[in-house]
Amino acid sequence: MTFATRRALLASLAAVPLLAPRGSARAQSAWPDRPIRLVVPFGAGTTTDALGRILASALAKEAGQPVVVENRVGAGGNVGAQAVAHAAGDGYTLLLGTNGTHGINASLFADPGFDAVKDFTPIAPFVTTPSVLGVPASLKASSVAELVALAKAKSLSFASAGNGTTGHLSQALLNLRAGLETQHIPYRNAGQAITDLLAGRVDAMFYHPLGLKPHLDAGTVKALAVTSAQRIAILPDVPTMQEAGVQDFVVEGRWSLYGPAGMPAEIVARLSRATNALLADQASLANLRAQGVEPLGGSPEQLAAMTRQEIAKWQPVIAAANIRPD
């Protein structure tokens, strides 16, 4: 979906009145009559948490009831996702899922505790962000081609925020696409990984733009490429991995709204329209972009397709790299 097409879709969805189809007034009037729970499967203070609170505020305005964010942390997001998968599909429990909970983890974990397709109702794609391939300023590589050549000449290390994260999988994909054998150094948190990147104790790292931007501005880290299909607004001079010569390389973090399986269509439609209306509002969009993300938006059907595609995309990468959870 192009940016222009996505903007047009968001505008059209936002223009639709937030009302149920005729004949479903009884279902609409019955829901919601109490607070709604939005499960965020990562901790307070994370990007996922910040995005969840922005979305919760918008959904509360539509629902006329509080939408309470509940952080359920553990197992790469599986603990929170499993809690929602096992909840009643009555519209009172929702999940801000990621491409980890609804893509990567299906292959990373032998049993994540849920089926990412069968156990959920897709509601709406929300936002997305790529990663930046960053290296210390001292590293003798100023392009992806130079980094690949250096990695073929000697062993290079790549930091990540943990096994199975998008940073780790981006490194594994680069190894596959460029025929490299680089060393993965998993950290318990991204902050320590960035500290060691700055100090030159690791050679490279794929991470979200917002986390690396201060160091790029300070000149202590060099951005070699971004992992999106197109260049990004906050780093317009940085090429994509594909522009840099690594073909079939698109890795983006994605956040989307899901509910348990079996949710009524009228409730799904209301929540989907409310999510898309948030993305079409300019003030809300500015707030989201301040978090380093871009609007995605779309229909439940589009999210269902994205989920299946994400699962299929990472199965061969995880198998080839023999990646296991921490």
Q: Is residue 234 part of a domain?
A: no
Domain match, 296 and 279 both: yes
pLDDT of residue 289: 86
270 backbone dihedrals φ, ψ, rounded to 5°: -60, -45
Environment class of 29 (CB within 10 Å of its CB; exposed 0-12, middle 13-18, buried 19+):
exposed
What CATH number corresponds to the domain at position 96? Answer: 3.40.190.150
Classified as helix, coil or strand, 94 is strand
Q: Residue 15: inside a domain, yes or no?
A: no
Rounded Cα gap, residues 293 and 256, in angstroms = 13
What DSSP string runs through 114-151?
S-TTTTEEEEEEEEEEE-EEEEETTSS-SSHHHHHHHH
Are the CB atoms for 182 and 151 separated by under 8 Å?
yes
**40 and 99 housed in the same domain:** yes
Asked whether residue 26 is domain-assigned, the answer is no
Q: What is the mean pLDDT of residues 114-134?
A: 97
pLDDT attached to residue 23: 38
User: In this structure, is residue 198 part of a structural domain?
Assistant: yes
Are residues 38 and 101 located together in one domain of the fold?
yes
pLDDT-derived band at 1, boundaries 50, 70, 90:
low
Rounded Cα distance, 205 and 220, in Å: 13
Residue 241 counted as domain residue = no
Residues 299 and 312 reside in one and the same domain = yes
Q: Which two tokens stand for residue 306?
A: 């994205």
- Asked if the structure places residue 16 within a domain, the reply is no
Residue 165 has pLDDT above 50, yes or no: yes
Q: What per-residue confidence (pLDDT) applies to 325?
A: 83
Strands (E), the chain: 36-40, 67-71, 93-98, 120-130, 132-136, 157-160, 183-186, 204-207, 221-226, 252-260, 294-295
Q: Residue 19 above 60 pLDDT?
A: no
Question: What's the whole-number average pLDDT of the chain?
Answer: 90
Model confidence over 20-73: pLDDT tens digits?
443 344 444 589 999 999 999 998 888 899 999 999 999 999 999 999 999 999
Q: Which pLDDT does position 12 carry in this prediction? A: 52
The tokens describing 149, both together, are 């050549």
Q: What does the pLDDT read at residue 16?
A: 45
Average pLDDT over residues 236-258: 96
What does the DSSP 8-state code read for residue 189? Answer: S
17 found inside a domain: no
**CATH number for the domain including 210?**
3.40.190.10
Same domain membership, residue 288 and residue 216: no
Residue 122: pLDDT over 60: yes
Domain that holds residue 283: 33-128+252-321
Closest-CA residue to 143 (of 246, 32, 223): 223
- Tell me: the pLDDT tens digits for 174-222? 999 999 999 999 998 888 999 999 999 999 999 999 889 999 999 999 9
- Mean pLDDT for the stretch of residues 127-148: 97
The number of distinct structural domains making up the chain is 2
Task: State whether 113 and 156 are in the same domain.
Answer: no
Least confident of 16-30, 46-60, 124-138, 157-171: 16-30
Predicted local confidence at residue 3, as pLDDT: 45
Is the domain of 73 the same as that of 214?
Answer: no
**Is pLDDT at 310 greater than 70 in this prediction?**
yes
Q: How confident is the model at residue 94 (pLDDT cuts 50, 70, 90)?
A: very high
Report angle CA 251, 139, 174 to the nearest 5 degrees.
25
b/e for 258-273, b at 16 or more Cβ within 10 A?
Answer: bbbbebbebbbbbbbb
Cβ contact 268:123 at 8 Å: yes
- The 157-160 sheet, strands edge to edge: 183-186, 157-160, 204-207, 132-136, 221-226
Rounded to whole angstroms, how far apart are CA atoms 136 and 119? 43
Same domain, 95 and 148: no
Sheet holding 36-40, edge to edge: 67-71, 36-40, 93-98, 252-260, 120-130, 294-295
Average pLDDT over residues 240-269: 96
Residues of the chain with pLDDT > 90: what percent? Answer: 77
For residue 160, is it within any domain?
yes
